[in-house]
Structures are given as structure tokens and as C-alpha cells.
Amino acid sequence: MGKKQKIVLPPELPPEIPDDEVEVSDDDLQFVKENLGYASLLSNLDTHSITKHVTRVADVKDDALEKLYEKRMQKNALKKKKEETGLQVDRVDALPIKTLDGKLHYRTATKTVSENDPSEEGTGEDVIADKGMVKLTKAEKRAKLKRMRKEAKKQGTEVAKEELEETPQAAVLAEVKQDLTAEETFESKKCKLAELGNALLTDPESNIKFLKEMVQISKDSDHTIVKLGLLSLLAVFKDIIPGYRIRLPTEKEVEMKVSKAVRKMRYYESTLLSSYKAYLQRLIALEKKPLFQHVAVRCICSLLDANPHFNFRESLLDATVRSISCPNEAIRKLCCSAIKSLFTNEGKHGGEATVEAVRLISDHVKAHDCQLHPDFVDVFLSLSFDEDLVKSEKIEEDQKLKNKKSKKRKGMEASNKLENDRKKSRQESISKTREEVEADYKAASLAPDVMERRQMQTETLSAVFETYFRILKHTMQSIGARPEANTGALSSTGEPLPLLAPCLKGLAKFSHLIDLDFMGDLMNHLKVLASGSSNSGYTYEKCSKCLTVSERLQCCIVAFKVMRKNLDALNIDLQDFCLHLYNLVLEYRPGRDHGEMLAEALKIMLCEEKQHDMQKTAAFIKRLATFSLCVGSADSMAALVTVKHLLQKNVKCRNLLENDIGGGSVCGTIPKYLPYSTDPNLSGALASVLWELSLLSHHYHPAISSLASSISSLNTAHNQVLLSKSSPIQSFKEMSLDQELCFAQESDNIKLNNKKRRANDHDPAISPSIGSTIVTSSFDDNELQSKLSSHFMLLHDIKENERLRKELDRTALSLQLYEQYKKQKKRSKLCR
């Protein structure tokens, strides 16, 4: 019991021998070289992991060495405890570390330990260096801590960047956070817009200050928020704008003392007007940007349509009229519909906006030299003028004349003064009461004054006709300036004269309102335009082709409409326009020109005219019959209906239906028929026969064949019924509609046949003869093949003849030039 326990000391370490003093014999080297395979184990040993727990400490005694080992064991235990108490990082964010023992260790984030923690006090007291144990004093520890804090403050941002670079997941998390914050801000702004708009719609007078916030939100950097803000403000303004024009108070009115209600109303109106002005400025600025152009124009047009009476109408009108020339079709339609609504709904603005819009359009046409989109002038067709105002003006003038005459008579009747005085007093009292009643009625109905309406209508008419006459003048100048061989430069819309067609439509509609002083010049211009050239010696062989056939036909139609509406005041010969129509029938092409325009010209110029010359009527009948052979079914139907009308009215022209030997009647002045004559009176059509009707009776369309046979047989009972119900333009429209329906039905039948074919191909149980009968039941292959072959052979012969004629003409021209050269050469020799 009393024996002391012996302390077992670890074995002493072998003495350290420097590498230079180690001697290796030749036998050892030879042995290692011969047995390199056995030495590979030694060369692959991880010496660092083997010797990491062994540290050699010099000049330390046994007791001090034991204390060092104990402190080292305590330090290792504290490290393990830290790892256990540390927060483990998510295994997705940090990769594990595998030790030599085969264990996996994950990274840990240490907890923030307070400075008074006893476990941390013993860790930093000792530091093991390469040469031995160094003990820090308290002053050195304090200086070290201060130094570390200063470096941490200076290099705080660099450490944060290094941490982000060390963990790439942090960048992804930062982007996700940014997206989440952007979505949150977007939703918050949307909710803010909704709240502000709802508050303004529920109580605009008390919440009028929210308008400025909504305008400020519409200036956001996010494009979607800007669009939402503009549309929200549009809905709010359309609802809260009053039905009157706001007039801000003057400086004197502001200085006056007013009640609380008046002050509140002034604040409401001033805030509304300032916000509305800022909103319009924002719209006009965004209109020039392609991203916001459609939304901005939509808001401008909606405001102009809803509140044309309110302030800043001029800015809205200017922006709307300017956008009509936009290449975007949707924007152009929006602007045109807004302008047309102004013209049709004049009760909203009393007609003032109509006058301003017409003036703006006229100024734009003048500034751009008539090179604009046709919709610019086409909107004038929506205008409506009150003819009663014109009549009332004439009645007032007549009344003034009557009053003057009555005053003269009253002056002459001085003898009956007493009786006249009584009558005057009675009439004055009656007139006063009438004026009072009319004033009360006018105040109650808020109807505009008749004089004001008449003045605005006069200004509108003058601006419209000024625009029309400017377009005609520009057209005349452009035709005169172009050479005969050149068709002229195209405008931006692809047409040489884009505004001529809507101009002619407007003249045809408002021709009864044109002043008679300008009527003669208008008819002369139309005559020149219908001819297609500004030269007096015009021939159709040398046509400059500045205008299309449809435009020239429209000039003829306008001339006839103007003549009919002003028949009492005008005495103009329309034979030149009939001559132009006679020649335009040959220049018409079905795919290029408008068939409806030709049908309307035939109706107005031939069918609705009461009297025609026999020679001219026969020429038109013959030319229209020939024309019906070369065009489609709709054009052919319109021409045949016109032929039928002319034959019904002119009995003598029915000699063209006779098939005697030697042709028809030769009672005309010219016995020979000239089919290429440009004058219908000199064509000699009465000497010909309508052989075209026999071909048209075998037309593929049943309606045309029946009509041609009825004309040739002159079935009067059927023709009279058909004449009473049909006209060239009506028959053209009906035939066009029938063609569309037939085409749609044929396409449906083709689709059904294709489906049946596919079903028969997939189903072997069904015999193939069923599908073949469906297809072959409609036509015969052999007959179709023979017809197509003859047709294409005929076309081939025609083309071959044309080619041979061109070569013959070229050869004859070259021979003629050679003969002229020979003659010139002989003359030069003689002169020498």
C-alpha cells in the first residue's frame, strides 16, 4: 500500500541525424535498383499524414514535454467540441471532405461566441512554432486584437466579395432575390394603381390629389407599368371629366374671398386640369416611340371621342390627324374612326371640332403636296350637311326683300297712319312674345344658334372643296409635267396619285353643294382627267396612262352626277364623256381594274339616260357584246344587261339581231363597220350583226347563256320583268356573290372527296370503284382533255402569230432604215 507508483515515461526519440551525414553504400543502392517493385510501397507513403501528429520540441525536459502533450490533447478536444457545436452547412451548398480513414466530414459554420466564453480563453494562449513554443503576453494579445479589428473594417467589402466568389450559389440566390423583389414591386405598383383609380372613381372630389400620383407612376421605368398607368388614367379621365369646359380663375378672382365650397371646387378643377395636361403631354411624347405608339394613340383617340368638348382639344386633334399617315394599319383605323365619330356626333361639341378637324386635314394635304394616304381625304365622306340651312338662308333673303318692299309701300300709304299704328303695335307685341318664347325654348333645349350653325357649315364646306380642288389642280399639274413614255414616280402608297380616287368620290357626293361659279372649271378638269392626258390633241393610241382606267371611269361618273344634280343651272354637253367611256371599254382589264366602277358607269351613262343617238347606241351595243366575250361572268353579265336596256329603248337598233346575207341594216351614214374607231358616231355599227350572242348562248354559266338567248330572241315579257328588277351594277354584285358561293361550295366538295379518297385508301374492305365514281361523275376525262388541248393549241397559235408579226415588223423597219441610209449616202456622194 505504501509503495509509490512508478511513472512510465515514453521511449526516447532517436537522435536526429542530418541527411548529409547519412551514408549509403553501393550494395544498398544496387539492392534498391534491383528490387524497385518492393520499394514502390515506400515511395507512395503519405509522409505528411504520418508525421502530422509528431512534433519535435528541442531543449525540453521530460516533465515539460509531458505538459506539452497534455495541452495538445486538450486543444484537440476543444477543436472537436467546436466542430460538434458548430452549425452544419447545407450539404447541397458545401462538398464533403474524405479523410484517409475513409470518413466524410462536412463543413461547419461556427457560432458567434461571446468574449466571456471560458472555452475560448485557453485556445489562443499558446502558439506552436517551428522552433518551439512561444507564449504571448497580455499586451501583445491586445495589440493583435486591435490590429485584426482594423484590418476587418478596411477589408470588409473585399471579404464579402471573396465569400461570394468562393460560393457561386450566392450569385444565383442574389438573382432570385432580385427577381422576387421585382415581382413584388410590380404587384405593389399594380395594386397601387388599382387603389388610386378605385378611390378616384368612387369619390373624385375628395381624392383628386391621387391623379398626380397616377401620372407619376405612369413615368416608371417598367414598360408594362407605363402601359397599365396610361390605360388606368384613360378610364379615370373618361369618367370624371365634366360636361363643360373648365375656365381657371383670374388673379382678381383668386384674391377675392369665396366660400369653402367654391374654394374646394376651384382646387378640384385646377388639379384636374393640370393632371390632364401632364397626361396629354406624356401621351404625345410616347406616341413617337414604337413600343408605346399603339397604346398612346388608342388613349388619344378614346379621349377625343369621349370628350371632344373639353380643354386641350386642339392637341388631341393635331395628334390624331397626324397619325392618319402612320404606316401601321391598326393605328390608322383608330384615328379614322375617331375623326368620323367627330363628324357624325356633332351634338357632343356643337360642330366646332368638325371645323377644326377639316381645317387640319386641309392644311396637312397642302403641306405634304397631296402625297398622303387616301384615308386622309376619305374621312370627308362621313360629313353630313344640313340642306335646310341653305334653304332657310334663301328664305331669309326673300323675307328681307319682302320687308324692304313692304316698307316702301308703308311709306307711300301715309294717309292710313292711325290704322297702321294700331296694326304695328299689335304686330310688335306679337313679335315680342314670339321672341321671348323662342329665347326660352333655346335656353331650355341648349340648341345652337342657326346663324352659328350656318357659319360653321359654310367654313366646313369651303375647307372641303378647297382640298378637293387642290387635289385636282395637283393632278393636272402632274399629268402635264410627265412625259408620254414615263408613267411617273410612285408615291409612298404605291400609287401615282393616291388622293384622286377619294377626291372624286367626295365630289360626286357633295356636287349639289358646289358653287355654280366653279362648275364650268370643274367639268373641264374632269374632261381632261377622263381623257388621260392634258394635251388637246389627244389620241388613245398615244395615251400617257397617267391615270388608271378606274379613275378615268370615275371622272365620267362624277361629271354625269354633277350634271344631273345641277340640271337647271348647267348647259354642258356630255358627249365627250360618252366618247371616253366608249374607248375605256377596250382598255378595261378584269384583274387590274374595278368591275364595279365600270358597271356603275354603264348604269349612269347609258341605262339611266332617256335619249341616245341611234348610231351611238348601236356602237355601244356592238362594243359591249364583243366585250362580254373577253371578260369574266360578272363583267359579262353587267354588259349584257346594258345591251338589253339599250335594245329595249331603241327599237331601230334591233336590226343588229337580223342575220340576213350582207349583214344588218345599212341605213346609216357609213355602210362599213369600223370596229377600232374611237368615235361611236363614226363606227358604222348598224352595218354589223350581233354574232356574239350566238356564242354567248353556249356560255358555261347558265345565267349568261339564258340572258344571251333571251336577247337574241327578244323575249319581251321576260325582258321587261328583268329590266324592272335589275341594273348593271346590281347584276354585277349578284354574279360576284354567286361566284364566291360557288367557289366555296366547290372547295368544300373537293375537301370531302379528298377525305373519302383517304378513307377508301385506308379501308381495304371498301371497293375502289366507289371513290372513282364520285370523282368521274362530274365530268368526262376525254371530253375535258380534248377541250383543253384545243384551247392550248389556239393559245399557242395566237402567241406564234404575235411573235411572227413582231419579227416581220422588225425586219420591215430594218429594211426601211437601210433604204434611207442608201439614199442619204447617194446624196452625200452627189454633193461632193
In this prediction, residue 299 carries a pLDDT of 94
Residues 61-99, buried b or exposed e (16+ Cβ, 10 A)? eeeeeeebeeeeeeeeeeeeebeeeeeeeeeeeeeeeee
**Collapsed DSSP state (helix, strand, coil) of residue 613:** coil
Percent above pLDDT 90 for the chain: 15
Residue (of 234, 230, 233) closest to 211 by Cα position: 233
Mean pLDDT, the chain, integer: 75
In this prediction, residue 321 carries a pLDDT of 92
Distance CA 629, CA 636 (A): 7
- 664/591: higher pLDDT: 591
Least confident of 13-22, 250-259, 592-601, 718-727: 718-727
Distance CA 819, CA 810 (A): 14
Q: pLDDT digits over 346-404, tens only? A: 878 888 889 999 999 999 999 988 888 888 899 999 888 876 665 555 555 555 555 55
Residue 260 burial by Cβ neighbours in a 10 Å radius (0-12, 13-18, 19+): exposed
Q: Is the pLDDT of residue 542 over 80?
A: no
Q: What is the pTM of this model?
A: 0.62
Residue (of 201, 185, 215) closest to 299 by Cα position: 215
Q: With cut-offs at 50, 70 and 90, classify the pLDDT of residue 773.
A: very low
- Location of C-alpha cell 413600343: 291
Q: With cut-offs at 50, 70 and 90, classify the pLDDT of residue 615.
A: confident
In this prediction, residue 114 carries a pLDDT of 43
Q: Is the pLDDT of residue 488 over 60?
A: no
Q: With cut-offs at 50, 70 and 90, classify the pLDDT of residue 769.
A: very low
Hey, what's the cell of 384?
353630313
Q: Is the pLDDT of residue 492 over 70?
A: no
Residue 172 burial by Cβ neighbours in a 10 Å radius (0-12, 13-18, 19+): exposed
Q: pLDDT digits over 431-453, tens only? A: 778 777 776 665 555 455 677 88
Contact 96, 104 (CB under 8 A): yes
Q: pLDDT digits over 308-347, tens only? A: 989 899 999 999 999 998 888 999 999 999 999 999 888 7
Amino acid 147 reads: R
- 30/163: higher pLDDT: 30
Tell me what the mean pLDDT of segment 169-176 comes to: 63
Q: With cut-offs at 50, 70 and 90, classify the pLDDT of residue 484.
A: very low
In this prediction, residue 104 carries a pLDDT of 77
Q: Is the pLDDT of residue 296 over 70?
A: yes
Least confident of 94-98, 113-117, 150-154, 531-535: 113-117
The alpha helices in 123-168, defined as continuous H runs, are 138-154, 156-166
Hey, what's the cell of 571?
348647259
In this prediction, residue 164 carries a pLDDT of 45
Distance CA 33, CA 25 (A): 13
Residues 138-169, buried b or exposed e (16+ Cβ, 10 A)? eeeeeeeeeeeeeeeeeeeeeeeeeeeeeeee
Q: Is the pLDDT of residue 534 over 60?
A: no
Tell me what the mean pLDDT of segment 177-191 comes to: 78
Residue (of 723, 735, 719) closest to 637 by Cα position: 735
Q: Is the pLDDT of residue 768 over 60?
A: no
Tell me what the mean pLDDT of segment 270-278 comes to: 92
Give the sign of the dihedral formed by CA 235, CA 241, CA 247, CA 252. negative
Distance CA 579, CA 680 (A): 7
In this prediction, residue 777 carries a pLDDT of 40
Amino acid 540 reads: Y
Distance CA 491, CA 371 (A): 6
- 606/23: higher pLDDT: 606
Q: With cut-offs at 50, 70 and 90, classify the pLDDT of residue 659.
A: low
Percent above pLDDT 70 for the chain: 66
Q: Is the pLDDT of residue 677 over 70?
A: yes
Tell me what the mean pLDDT of segment 638-643 comes to: 91
- 731/9: higher pLDDT: 731
Q: With cut-offs at 50, 70 and 90, classify the pLDDT of residue 716.
A: very low
The backbone torsions φ and ψ at residue 23, rounded to the nearest 5 degrees and listed phi first, read -110, 130
Least confident of 34-43, 267-276, 352-361, 822-831: 34-43
- 268/47: higher pLDDT: 268
In this prediction, residue 72 carries a pLDDT of 77
Contact 495, 390 (CB under 8 A): no
Q: Is the pLDDT of residue 654 over 80?
A: yes
Tell me what the mean pLDDT of segment 168-196 comes to: 75
Q: Is the pLDDT of residue 160 over 90?
A: no
- 2/815: higher pLDDT: 815
| Number of C-beta neighbours around residue 304 at 10 A | 24
Q: pLDDT digits over 130-148, tens only? A: 434 445 666 777 777 777 7
Residue 785 CA, chain-centre distance (Å), reads: 48
- 628/400: higher pLDDT: 628
In this prediction, residue 726 carries a pLDDT of 73
Q: Is the pLDDT of residue 767 over 50?
A: no
Least confident of 352-356, 482-486, 562-566, 639-643: 482-486
